[in-house]
Copies of this chain bind each other. A is one copy, B any other.
Amino acid sequence: MELGKKTWAIAEGYIPAWSHGPEPQMTSHEAACLLNASDRDAHVEIMIYFSDREPVGPYKITVGARRTKHIRFNNLTDPEPVPVDTDYASVIRSDVPIVVQHTRLDSRQDANALISTIAYTE
């Protein structure tokens, strides 16, 4: 079964610079949740866009056939870490159709806040 699209974008990117509460669940983070419902592994490349310099990437990720992977941008390191407290955006491309949803947990204050939205696709 194939489901989804090969190109996705998340225009809102921001990793809060501090956290409040037990790790790793309550650590402030931003995630791209990838679903690969197909029967082939998905080879995914993420490009990160900034406000004041050229894009960085690709960050390469494999999502196995019939698997989901929730990527924390905080954990991306190659080619370089994604800076905190910095506006960014991302474009996500895959060689098989996938579905992408964007989520952030912000635990900077006493109680955490959450956002989530389906990403843009075309």
Contact = CB atoms under 8 A, between A and B. Distances in A.
Kindly name the residue among A20, A66, A116 whose own CB sees the greatest number of chain B CB atoms within 10 A.
A116
Contact of A109 (B52, B98, B111): B111
B7 A109 contact: no
Interface of A: 3-5, 7, 9-14, 16-17, 20-21, 25-26, 31, 33-35, 37, 47, 49-52, 54-55, 66-70, 85, 87-89, 91, 98-122
Nearest to A63: B51
A107 B26 CA distance: 12
A41 to B, nearest CB: 13
B116 A118 contact: no
B111 A110 contact: yes
B116 A113 contact: no
A37 B54 CA distance: 11
A101 B120 contact: yes
A19 to B, nearest CB: 11
Contact of A4 (B9, B20, B108): B9
Given A49-B68, A99-B89, A120-B99, A33 B12 contact: yes
